[in-house]
Amino acid sequence: MTKWVYSFGAGHNEGRADMRNLLGGKGANLAEMATIGLPVPPGFTITTELCTAYYDNDRRYPDDLDAQVRASLGLIEEAVGLRFGDAAKPLLVSVRSGARVSMPGMMDTVLNLGLNDETVRGLEAASGDARFAWDSYRRFIQMYGSVVLGVDHHRFEEIIENAKLDAGVIEDTALSPQHWQAVVAEYKVMVEQERGAPFPMDPHEQLWGAIGAVFGSWMNPRANTYRRLHDIPATWGTAVNVQAMVFGNMGADCATGVCFTRDPSTGENTFYGEFLVNAQGEDVVAGIRTPQPLSRLRAHPGEVSMEEALPSAYADLVAVRETLEHHYLDMQDIEFTVQQNKLYMLQTRSGKRTAAASLRIAVEMAEAGLIDRREAVKRVNPASLDQLLHPTLDPKAPRTVFGKGLPASPGAASGVAVFNSDEAEMRSAKGEAVVLVRIETSPEDIHGMHAARGILTTRGGMTSHAAVVARGMGRPCVAGAGGISVDYGAQTLSAGGKTIRAGETITLDGATGEVFSGAVAMIEPSMSGDFATLMGWADQVRRLGIRTNAETPLDAETARKFGAEGIGLSRTEHMFFAPERIGVVRQMIMADDLAGRRAALDKLLPFQRADFTDLFRIMHGLPVTIRLLDPPLHEFLPHQDSELAEVAAATGQDIEQVRRRAAELSEANPMLGHRGCRLGITYPEIYEMQARAIFEGAIAAARETGEAPVPEVMIPLISTRRELEITRAQVDKVAADVFREQGQSIEYLVGTMIELPRAVLVADKIAEIADFFSFGTNDLTQTVFGLSRDDAGRFLPAYVEAGILPKDPFVSIDVEGVGAMVRMAADKGRATKNALKMGICGEHGGDPASIAFCEEIGLDYVSCSPYRVPVARLAAAQAALGVGVDRTA
Ligand code: ADP
Ligand code: MG
Ligand code: MG
């Protein structure tokens, strides 16, 4: 018999925190909290395995499930002394979904399940509180009706709004038991109209309805979208938790709340959260009433903190905070309810946080001895460092304040205002920066939030959906900007008599909550403090070297500031495109004889030498890899008549001659055409000029800085040993010439890119000539798959969507195929030369999963764009600590 159901609370703790795959995160942690003695209402968890079995079996439950659920329900009844469906002393339960990772899109929780026309009387009598009983009942019909029966929640809200109008009150809590009774009656009529059947009165039917809805929600479109965005396999399944109710809506000594054990925005070690007196469930995040702060220190005038309103429950909560942090050794996100001054824990999980908070918490926990430094290094997701590299608003920049909300997720963003998620996605796909503006967001907005640079909502608090999701995604967010009103129909947002229309630019400051009309200048972030500390710890454990791909002095300086240990790829062709050079480059290409080409190259030499001298100076003492010209010549060709005329004039040809030459040079498939070392072999003078510029530049920089750089001359697109032999001989000859002329020699290497399948297959032979290999995984991916990156947009996304490929192979290395090639070339290279230096350049050098692969096969370094350098340093450290590629588990 398979065990489908695990009990928790009241002495029956069958689960543990490390059973999250089976019990889901919520269920596993409820059991764990109960085990360490925290007050958790008793309940049980139906496993994720049941979910999988349900889908494998045509959406039918196994036969033995019913008996197991009944038995566990019996344990709850025993523990609390109430019976499910009992007219006098009814047990009420909540039904809660809970996957391995917390996941928006799953079914919302149903509270107060078990109520019907009969049991509500029992609840009323037992509690002696009619308002409470009928409030609970209407909440149940509303939740069950919308979540399980699919009735539009607006239909329920209309009825309440009308009841409040009739009663002349503003707050829900001001409605009397009679009002709620009337609301319940109307609800039932409305539900019956909507679905053509009465609201279910049988508690067991209610229970199975809710359980079925949770499992059903696992495959709904919202959940599917979220899983796709976060690489979560559908086979994981969700669990269902059924738990005895505790009531935060029984009066002034009751409350419900959510909190974080540390500040999730900044990471500051202070208790952080919100609560509402006399409220239930998600009232706190729903924005119906304004939540109040937990601690007195955080209360503004007019606010009443939990510390003041419910001092003894608050003291218990502070103790729980301590217990949980020491137990889980991580910042926790907690949900709790207070019933008649007694605290109950309803959830704990590792709290979502900004990158800044993640860093600070990891560093402070290590400094406090809760975790060690290696653990701290593992705690920060390298990809999230991106957030810290986000710009913030320049304090000196002029700005026009439009409105203000809560600082829900830090960073600044400018973009055009867009009012719905589909449009946000569409416009951003076209390359526009958009800011998503919503009254509030729901899980249906995930794709729009993802596409937006920033998110603005006019309703909801620091723990609202928008705030939590934005922090998780690293999007700046201003939430609950109550002074701004949004009109979806008119597509406007207005505040203080001013109006902004859809498509006009606005700017958000997620750190202050301010909203500005128009764009505001931004500044680059600083790399000190916790960032520097954690990076230092990462550097102590990583083995891989981190270099950067850089052509310009600005890129090289930025990368060095970010900790790059040299340049792994400098693409010299970028230097050819500069306006004052392109004319000379064109003369070189157009020249129809060697003398003409040499004349043009002589003019290019000083430019290139100056470029290289700059790079060598900035990277003094560090290796600098310079790749000789790679792209096909036609990329530099003149197109417009004015350009053609310019070349004609400079070379003394007529314009038609030039046009003909341009046509001659054009290729059917330039990616596989006359490029890379093929150019160097057919026009050796080009590589000779570049080699000369490199060695002259290196000697100049060595004299200037007193520290010789180590130039690594890299020959692109090699597929045979002979190609490298020929081009290397040219470079060595130029080096010898320059050293003789300058009366000084320096150390240098000559190596090659491994970016063609043939080069992989003969890597042992190529290694006889090469001092190093650099894996050009962009081209290698194109040539191993036989697909052109520029055309892949038409089908690759569909491949990833359908799971034919797990990820875009240009973003994260295809370990199985391209990775096998890299491994093979590395092995063959080492077989020839034991100490052959090897690295990777290209997009993959900054991707954490690809970096883990590079660590595994023992490469010497990775090279990535300057802004990815910190990401790569941390990812390399984690790879050295054995953190796997899968970050979702
Ligand atoms: P989510 O996954 O959306 O956070 P939960 O299952 O945690 O949903 O439920 C949301 C809220 O409902 C909880 O924070 C809590 O306030 C309330 N809740 C859930 N179960 C109970 C219960 N047994 N008693 C009282 N309140 C509950
Ligand atoms: Mg929820
Ligand atoms: Mg919850």
CA of 451 to the centre of ligand 2 (A): 22
Around Cβ 873, how many Cβ atoms within 10 Å? 27
Pair of tokens at residue 389: 């590299």
Nearest ligand 1 atom, CA 347: 7
DSSP letter string over 540-589? HH--SEEEEE--SHHHHHHHHHTT--SEEEEEGGGGG-SHHHHHHHHHHH
Cβ proximity of 165 and 183 under 8 Å: no
pLDDT band per the 50, 70, 90 thresholds, residue 664: confident
CA of 41 to the centre of ligand 3 (A): 14
Look at ligand 1, atom 11, and give the residue with the nearest C-alpha.
281
114 lines ligand 1 (CB under 6 A): no
pLDDT tens by residue, 705-720: 999 999 999 999 999 9
The top-scoring range by mean pLDDT among 469-478, 507-516, 816-825 is: 816-825
246 lines ligand 1 (CB under 6 A): yes
94 lines ligand 1 (CB under 6 A): yes
Q: How far is residue 363 from each of residues 252, 375, 543, measured CA to CA in Å?
A: 40, 10, 21
Helix runs in 443-575, H state only = 446-451, 465-473, 529-541, 553-561
Closest Cα to residue 593, out of 660, 517, 685, 659? 685
Strand order in the sheet with 485-487: 485-487, 492-495, 498-501
283 lines ligand 1 (CB under 6 A): no
Pair of tokens at residue 679: 């150019």
Does residue 38 carry a pLDDT above 90? yes
Pair of tokens at residue 499: 């109006």
CA of 347 to the centre of ligand 3 (A): 6
Beta strands in 134-254 (DSSP E): 238-244
Nearest ligand 1 atom, CA 258: 14
Q: What is the mean pLDDT of residues 835-848?
A: 92
Q: Which amino acid is at 468?
A: V
CA of 268 to the centre of ligand 1 (A): 26
- Token pair 């500031």 is found at 561
Look at ligand 1, atom 22, and give the residue with the nearest C-alpha.
245
Residue 385's pLDDT is what? 85
User: Which residues are tagged catalytic?
Assistant: 465, 841
Residue 378's pLDDT is what? 96
Does residue 772 carry a pLDDT above 90? yes
pLDDT tens by residue, 463-486: 788 987 887 676 899 999 999 999
245 lines ligand 1 (CB under 6 A): yes
Pairing state of beta strands 477-479 and 485-487?
Answer: unpaired
Does residue 753 carry a pLDDT above 70? yes
- CA distance linking residue 160 with residue 799, whole number of Å: 48
Cβ proximity of 422 and 398 under 8 Å: no
Residue 497's pLDDT is what? 92
Nearest ligand 1 atom, CA 256: 16
- CA distance linking residue 390 with residue 504, whole number of Å: 22
Which range is least confidently modeled, 69-73, 227-231, 417-421? Answer: 227-231
First to last CA, the chain: 28
Does residue 889 carry a pLDDT above 50? no
Which range is least confidently modeled, 191-200, 202-211, 531-540, 568-577? Answer: 568-577
pLDDT tens by residue, 620-655: 999 999 999 998 888 788 778 888 888 888 777 888
Look at ligand 1, atom 23, and give the residue with the nearest C-alpha.
245
Look at ligand 1, atom 24, and give the residue with the nearest C-alpha.
245
CA of 28 to the centre of ligand 1 (A): 15
Closest Cα to residue 114, out of 241, 8, 200? 200
Residue 884's pLDDT is what? 64
Pair of tokens at residue 769: 């000539």
Closest Cα to residue 672, out of 549, 758, 751, 586? 758
346 lines ligand 1 (CB under 6 A): yes
Pairing state of beta strands 292-293 and 272-277?
Answer: antiparallel
What proportion of the chain, given as a percentage, has pLDDT over 70? 99
User: Residue 270: helix, strand or coil by DSSP?
Assistant: coil
Please classify residue 572 by burial: count the beta carbons closer than 10 Å to its beta carbon, then call 0-12 exposed, 13-18 middle and 19+ buried.
Answer: buried
Q: How far is residue 515 from each of residues 405, 481, 658, measured CA to CA in Å?
A: 8, 9, 55
Q: What is the mean pLDDT of residues 35-59?
A: 96
Closest Cα to residue 753, out of 838, 672, 836? 838
Q: Which amino acid is at 327?
A: H
Nearest ligand 1 atom, CA 241: 6
Q: At 248, phi and psi to the nearest 5?
A: -95, 0
What proportion of the chain, given as a percentage, has pLDDT over 90? 73
Give the closest ligand to the alpha carbon of residue 114. 1
Instruction: Give the CA dihedral 328, 331, 336, 340, nearest 10 degrees.
Output: 90
347 lines ligand 1 (CB under 6 A): yes
Around Cβ 696, how many Cβ atoms within 10 Å? 20
- CA distance linking residue 797 with residue 314, whole number of Å: 50
CA of 286 to the centre of ligand 2 (A): 9
Give the closest ligand to the alpha carbon of residue 337. 1
CA of 299 to the centre of ligand 1 (A): 25
Residue 419's pLDDT is what? 97
Nearest ligand 1 atom, CA 336: 16
Cβ proximity of 242 and 94 under 8 Å: yes
335 lines ligand 1 (CB under 6 A): yes
109 lines ligand 1 (CB under 6 A): yes
Q: What is the mean pLDDT of residues 19-39?
A: 96
Residue 472's pLDDT is what? 65
Cβ proximity of 507 and 845 under 8 Å: no
The top-scoring range by mean pLDDT among 267-271, 607-611, 763-767 is: 763-767
Residue 583's pLDDT is what? 84
348 lines ligand 1 (CB under 6 A): no
Does residue 887 carry a pLDDT above 50? no
Give the closest ligand to the alpha carbon of residue 80. 1
Residue 281's pLDDT is what? 86
CA of 111 to the centre of ligand 1 (A): 7
Residue 88's pLDDT is what? 95
Does residue 885 carry a pLDDT above 60? no
Instruction: Give the CA dihedral 13, 18, 19, 20, nearest 10 degrees.
Output: 120
From 282, 334, 343, 465, give the residue whose CB has the most ligand 1 atoms within 8 Å, as the site to mutate.
282
From 109, 258, 468, give the residue whose CB has the most ligand 1 atoms within 8 Å, as the site to mutate.
109
Query: Higher confidence at residue 201 or residue 387?
Result: 201
- CA distance linking residue 672 with residue 666, whole number of Å: 13
Name 361's bridge partners. Answer: none
Give the closest ligand to the alpha carbon of residue 284. 1
pLDDT tens by residue, 345-392: 999 999 988 888 999 999 999 999 999 999 999 999 998 887 787 778
- pTM for the model: 0.78
727 lines ligand 1 (CB under 6 A): no
Contacts of 657 (CB under 8 A, 6+ apart): 648
- CA distance linking residue 262 with residue 351, whole number of Å: 9
- CA distance linking residue 37 with residue 824, whole number of Å: 54
Closest Cα to residue 862, out of 559, 613, 611, 532? 559
Pair of tokens at residue 867: 């802004």
Pair of tokens at residue 169: 């009150």
Using H for helix, E for strand and C for coil, what is the string for 765-823? Answer: HHCCCCCEEEEEHHHHHHHHHCCCCCCHHHCHHHHHHCCCCCCCCCCCCCCCCHHHHHH
Look at ligand 1, atom 9, and give the residue with the nearest C-alpha.
109
Q: What is the mean pLDDT of residues 287-316?
A: 91
Q: How far is residue 443 from each of residues 40, 468, 543, 869, measured CA to CA in Å?
A: 28, 11, 41, 33
Residue 372's pLDDT is what? 96
DSSP letter string over 362-376? HHHHHHTTSS-HHHH
pLDDT band per the 50, 70, 90 thresholds, residue 888: very low
CA of 240 to the centre of ligand 3 (A): 13
Does residue 41 carry a pLDDT above 70? yes
pLDDT tens by residue, 133-166: 999 999 999 999 999 999 998 999 999 999 999 9
Closest Cα to residue 574, out of 618, 608, 624? 608
454 lines ligand 1 (CB under 6 A): no
Pair of tokens at residue 76: 């709850």
256 lines ligand 1 (CB under 6 A): yes
Look at ligand 1, atom 3, and give the residue with the nearest C-alpha.
108
Nearest ligand 1 atom, CA 244: 23
Q: What residues are neighbours of ligand 3 (ion), with CB under 5 Å? A: 335, 347
549 lines ligand 1 (CB under 6 A): no
Please classify residue 174 by burial: count the beta carbons closer than 10 Å to its beta carbon, then call 0-12 exposed, 13-18 middle and 19+ buried.
Answer: exposed
Name 627's bridge partners. Answer: 571, 714
Contacts of 811 (CB under 8 A, 6+ apart): 843, 844, 847
CA of 257 to the centre of ligand 1 (A): 10
DSSP letter string over 821-888? HHHHHHHHHHHH-TT-EEEEESGGGG-HHHHHHHHHTT-SEEEE-GGGHHHHHHHHHHHHTT--S---
Mean pLDDT in the chain? 92
